Amino acid sequence: MTRFHQSVLTPNPAVRRPILAVLDAALDAVDPFAAVQNVLRRQDDSLTVAGPSARDPAAALTYDLRRFRRIFVVAAGKAAVPMSAAVEAALGDRISRGLAVTKYDHAQPAGPASAASSRIRVVEAGHPIPDEAGVLAGKEMLALVEQADADDLVIALLSGGGSALLVAPAAEATDSAGHTHPALTLSDMQAMTDALLACGATINEMNCLRKHASAVKGGQLARAAAPATLLTLALSDVIGSPLDVIASGPTVPDESAWADVRAIVEKYDLNDALPAAISGRLQAGLAGHIPDTPKPDDPAFASSNTLVVADNRTAANAALAKATELGYNTILLSTYVEGEAAEVAKLLVALGREALDSGLPAPAPACIILGGETTVNLGDNPGEGGRNQELALAAALALRNLPGLTIVSLATDGTDGPTDSAGGIADNGTVARGDDAGLSAADHLRRHDAYPYLRAAADLLLTGPTQTNVNDLLFVFAQKV
Q: What is the DSSP string of 324-390?
A: HHTT-EEEEEEEEE-SBHHHHHHHHHHHHHHHHHH--SSPSSEEEEEEE--B----SS--S--HHHH
Classified as helix, coil or strand, 22 is: helix
Q: Do domains 6-29+313-478 and 33-168+214-256+293-310 have the same CATH topology?
A: no
**Quick one: CA torsion of 4, 6, 11, 17, rounded to 10 degrees?**
60
Cβ-Cβ contacts under 8 Å for 173 (sequence gap 6 or more): 180, 181, 281, 284, 290
- Does the pLDDT value for residue 204 go beyond 90? no
CATH superfamily ID and name for 6-29+313-478: MOFRL domain (3.40.1480.10)
pLDDT band, very low/low/confident/very high, at 336 (cuts 50, 70, 90): very high
* Angstrom distance (rounded) from CA 357 to CA 47: 54
Is pLDDT larger for residue 163 or for residue 384?
Answer: 384
Q: What does pTM read for this prediction? A: 0.86
Query: What are the beta bridge partners of residue 476?
Result: 368, 407
At the topology level, CATH places domain 33-168+214-256+293-310 in Rossmann fold (3.40.50)
* Angstrom distance (rounded) from CA 157 to CA 232: 6
Q: Where are the domains of the chain?
A: 6-29+313-478, 33-168+214-256+293-310
* Angstrom distance (rounded) from CA 190 to CA 195: 9
* Angstrom distance (rounded) from CA 259 to CA 92: 44
Classified as helix, coil or strand, 417 is: coil
- Give the pLDDT score at 450: 98
- Does the pLDDT value for residue 59 go beyond 70? no
- Give the pLDDT score at 142: 96
Query: What are the beta bridge partners of residue 332?
Result: 369
Classified as helix, coil or strand, 295 is: coil
Give the H or E element holding residue 189.
helix 186-199
**Quick one: CA torsion of 359, 365, 369, 375, rounded to 10 degrees?**
90
Which stretches does DSSP call E strand in 145-218? 152-158, 173-174, 180-181
- Does the pLDDT value for residue 175 go beyond 90? no
- Does the pLDDT value for residue 143 go beyond 70? yes
Nearest to 177 by CA among 78, 89, 83, 285: 285
Is pLDDT larger for residue 36 or for residue 181?
Answer: 36
pLDDT tens, position by position, 343-372: 999 999 999 999 999 999 999 999 999 999
- Give the pLDDT score at 200: 84
